[in-house]
Structure 1
Amino acid sequence: LMGLIAADEAQTLVAEHGAQYLIETQKETGDFSGSWWEDEFTGTGFPIHFFIKYHMYQHFFPLMALSRYRRYLVLD
């Protein structure tokens, strides 16, 4: 979604579907209510041997994408 916004393609059906996907996959209950869950590692320390989990990425990037998408639609 952020790539589409950067490419000035935010007003496309693909971007709308991306935003809708993020909204629909938000957790509704539990510790992650209103956020997203991600089991995968999000970084590589040493390929094949050591991987890193950035715990806030699962919250930060979807929120940033949705806020940029909203701002683009409101200001455009």
Structure 2
Amino acid sequence: MTLEQKIKKFSQRKTLLSKSEINQRKKELENFRAISVFEGFTTSKLDKKIFDLLIYQKISPSDYLSLCLELSHEKH
């Protein structure tokens, strides 16, 4: 299964978070992303899709790391 297929599969999961919980997570994780960009880490569309899966709690932190590692291997 390709990385894009995995992302699409995870995207179809439902979130158990309320709108306010999602907004709070977005704010916290967007701040983290801004710091990463400030430190020189650039993001792609796939990076953002993976990050959004984490925000909406459609993947676990370990799934997030696995997808990021897979994306990293595809980039290099």
Q: Is the shorter-chain TM-score for this pair beyond 0.5, marking a shared fold?
A: no
Higher helix share: 2
Band of TM-score, shorter chain: 0.3 to 0.5
Higher percent of residues as strand:
1
Higher-RCO chain (CA-CA 8 Å, sequence separation at least 6) = 2
Q: Rg: which structure is higher?
A: 1
